[in-house]
């Protein structure tokens, strides 16, 4: 089988060697500059494994040999699933490799925003000292609401319970009324669901207004699950206590943040990082193993982790 990784990945050299032993494997270390370059890179490939690029209908239709698209991530919102299904191309994700990394990072963000750690660090670095300025809140006894209860959500729950928090969760089967109740009663609301047509702007201005004034929003899932403009408005008005965000609705693949992102992340009640919750040494090792297992399953015709 011929397979191509047309954009940079977190795979080790050992993992790349294993992939080369499975078939004709080609790797690219630089981001493609254009869609046409992506098309050129994947020409003739039966399987492509992508990390960051958007796989559009045009890309899918350009290669009649394409059978499988593997996403080196849990989320697969950058793939045109409808076009893939129409072309009889199976889309496969890597659903477990980063669950613990994201869960630990989520708890880290909760500590950072509720105890104002980054704000205090910057204040001290600038040569200031004021112990009373940075009063935070403790987590024990607080209500954590998880929207999404997959691998990372369940790991967050374990860690939160160990901290003495009370945890409730909502899934895709939860009614809109019950979801509203979860939003309204949570001290901390944390998102752990994929971005789909149904989940886009799930946390809109109406639901943001349901949150307690003392509540915090945490997002390590996908930025577009939250209406970003509405969030800026709510935070500016201090309708909620704050937000800790690792993902954004308009984040760039590379380069610099957008103007709207900068408006959001420069707010005093926001902790923000550049989509790195997944990024740990251990995650990278697990990702390689999960990708190899996915590709072996494709070669053997015993598919796993198919999402379309």
Q: For the segment 140-191, what is each residue's pLDDT rounded down to a tens digit? A: 999 999 999 999 999 999 999 999 999 999 999 999 999 999 999 999 999 9
The yes-or-no answer on residue 222 being catalytic is yes
Q: What percent of the chain has pLDDT over 70?
A: 100
- Write out the DSSP string of the chain: -EEEE-S-----HHHHHHHHHHSEEEE--S--SSHHHHHHHTTT-SEEEESSS-B-HHHHHH-TT--EEEESSS--TTB-HHHHHHTTPEEE---STTHHHHHHHHHHHHHHHHTTHHHHHHHHHTT---SGGG-----TTPEEEEE--SHHHHHHHHHHHHTT-EEEEE-TTS-HHHHHHHHHH-SEEEE-----TTTTTSB-HHHHHHS-TT-EEEE-S-GGGB-HHHHHHHHHTTSSSEEEES--TT--SSS---HHHHHHHTSTTEEE-SS-TT--HHHHHHHHHHHHHHHHHHHHT---SB--
The yes-or-no answer on residue 251 being catalytic is yes
**Matching fold, domains 2-97+281-300 and 99-272:** yes
Domain ranges of the chain: 2-97+281-300, 99-272
pTM for the predicted model, two decimal places: 0.93
Q: What percent of the chain has pLDDT over 90?
A: 98
Single out the catalytic residue among 154, 200, 201, 275: 275
The yes-or-no answer on residue 169 being catalytic is no
Single out the catalytic residue among 157, 222, 249, 290: 222
Single out the catalytic residue among 205, 251, 260, 263: 251
CATH architecture of the domain 2-97+281-300 equals: 3-Layer(aba) Sandwich (3.40)
Pick the CATH number of 99-272 from 3.10.105.10, 2.40.30.170, 3.40.50.720, 3.40.50.920: 3.40.50.720
pLDDT at 133: 94
Please tell me the least confidently modeled range out of 110-124, 155-169, 251-265: 251-265
């Amino acid at each position: 089988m011929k397979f191509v990784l047309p954009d940079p990945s977190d795979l080790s050299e050992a993992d790349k060697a294993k992939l080369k032993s499975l078939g004709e494997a080609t790797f690219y270390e630089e981001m493609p500059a254009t869609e046409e370059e992506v098309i050129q890179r994947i020409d003739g490939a039966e399987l492509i494994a992508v990390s960051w690029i958007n796989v559009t209908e045009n890309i899918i239709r350009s290669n009649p040999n394409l059978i499988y698209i593997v996403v080196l991530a849990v989320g697969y919102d950058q793939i045109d699933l409808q076009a893939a299904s129409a072309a009889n191309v199976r889309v496969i994700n890597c659903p477990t490799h980063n669950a613990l990394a994201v869960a630990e990072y989520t708890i880290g963000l909760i500590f950072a925003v509720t105890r104002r750690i980054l704000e205090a660090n910057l204040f001290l670095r600038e040569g200031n000292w004021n112990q009373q300025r940075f009063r935070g809140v403790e987590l024990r006894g607080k209500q954590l609401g998880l929207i999404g209860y997959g691998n990372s959500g369940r790991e967050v729950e374990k860690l939160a319970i160990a901290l003495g928090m009370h945890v409730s969760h909502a899934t895709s089967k939860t009614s809109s009324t019950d979801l509203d109740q979860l939003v309204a009663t949570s001290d901390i609301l944390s998102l752990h669901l994929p971005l789909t047509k149904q989940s886009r702007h799930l946390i809109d201005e109406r639901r943001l207004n349901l949150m307690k004034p003392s509540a915090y929003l945490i997002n390590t899932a996908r930025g577009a699950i939250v209406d970003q403009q509405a969030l800026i408005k709510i935070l500016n008005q201090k309708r909620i206590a704050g937000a800790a965000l690792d993902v954004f609705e308009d984040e760039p693949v590379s380069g610099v943040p957008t103007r709207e992102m900068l408006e959001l992340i420069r707010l005093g009640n926001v902790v923000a990082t550049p989509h790195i919750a997944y990024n740990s040494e251990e995650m990278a090792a697990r990702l390689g193993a999960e990708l190899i297992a996915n590709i072996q399953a494709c070669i053997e015709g015993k598919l796993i982790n198919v999402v379309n």
